Amino acid sequence: MERLQKIIANSGYCSRRKAESLIAQGKVSVNGKQVTDLGVKVSPNDSIVVEGRALKQTEKEYILLYKPRGIITSTKDEKGRKTVVDLIQTNKRLYPVGRLDYDTSGLLLLTNDGNLTNLLIHPRHEIQKVYIAKIDQLVDPSLIKKLMQGVVIDGVKVKADRVKIKKMDKKKKTTIVELVIHDGKYHQVKKMFAAIGYTVAGLKREKFAFLDLSGLTAGEYRHLTTKEVKTLYSLIK
Ligand code: URA
């Protein structure tokens, strides 16, 4: 559900301010009834008529992308570098749900459903994300425990929901760690490891809520099913 003036503006019919003025002038109806109240919220299924013409609401699109490394999570880049949006063939304006660093690969959602985006990125909703971090050192398991007890990054204490050493290669001196977090601060995983004295050499997001990367290779994407979108909405408390 979104405010009527926002839906009208999002359809490209006019600006939000103009939409407010049209509503106030009684030039808008919802499901056959004239609406002059600016607080009214409508859903994508409501039929909206503006100045006698049926409004075509922009269809929502939901993409699950396997972001490769070396691509920026943005809709455009002032240096002309490739962005995640350049990887998607669509005629809609899609926005990433949160962000992954330039050198991070993995699961990234993109959509034009701003409502869902705002809900999913809000830490209150505690959407779990699973990361795989590669550390070019042998990691001390007792330090890993600290990530669950909580470490301070940028003056705020953050905890991992789960941490597990997946593999330790004594010869190559590398460790693969799986880390589950539910908030999404800037460079959070890298900063959490930095807080216990390690540098993340490689990072991949394997899961976002119940969604994973199965069937995709880096650079590929798929549309979410209606059921998956509904399930994402249902996760919001
Ligand atoms: N944490 C990071 O440090 N980087 C990412 O890209 C995602 C989470």
Residue 148 CA to ligand 1 center (angstroms) comes to: 17
Which residue, by CA, sits nearest to atom 7 of ligand 1?
Answer: 100
Which residue, by CA, sits nearest to atom 3 of ligand 1?
Answer: 187
Percent share of the chain, pLDDT over 70: 100
132 and 178 inside one domain: yes
Q: How many domains does the chain have?
A: 3
183 versus 188: the higher-pLDDT residue is 188
User: According to the model, what pLDDT value does residue 45 have?
Assistant: 77
User: According to the model, what pLDDT value does residue 136 have?
Assistant: 97
> Is 203:190 a contact under the CB 8 Å cutoff?
yes
Average pLDDT over residues 184-209: 97
User: According to the model, what pLDDT value does residue 58 have?
Assistant: 77
| Residues β-bridged to residue 143 | none
Domain residues for the domain of 144 are 128-208
pLDDT interval class at 200 (50, 70, 90):
very high
User: According to the model, what pLDDT value does residue 56 have?
Assistant: 84
User: According to the model, what pLDDT value does residue 46 have?
Assistant: 87
- Active site amino acids: 101
Name residue 69's amino acid.
R
Q: Does the CB atom of residue 187 touch ligand 1 within 6 A?
A: yes
CA–CA–CA angle 116, 8, 40 (5° rounding): 75
Residue 119 CA to ligand 1 center (angstroms) comes to: 19
149 and 219 inside one domain: no
152 and 191 inside one domain: yes
193 and 145 inside one domain: yes
Q: Does the CB atom of residue 100 touch ligand 1 within 6 A?
A: yes
pLDDT interval class at 214 (50, 70, 90):
very high
User: Is the pLDDT reported for residue 209 higher than 90?
Assistant: yes
Residue 91 CA to ligand 1 center (angstroms) comes to: 29
User: According to the model, what pLDDT value does residue 139 have?
Assistant: 95
User: According to the model, what pLDDT value does residue 182 have?
Assistant: 94
91 and 23 inside one domain: no
81 and 112 inside one domain: yes
93 and 44 inside one domain: no
Number of C-beta neighbours around residue 230 at 10 A: 10
113 and 140 inside one domain: no
135 and 172 inside one domain: yes
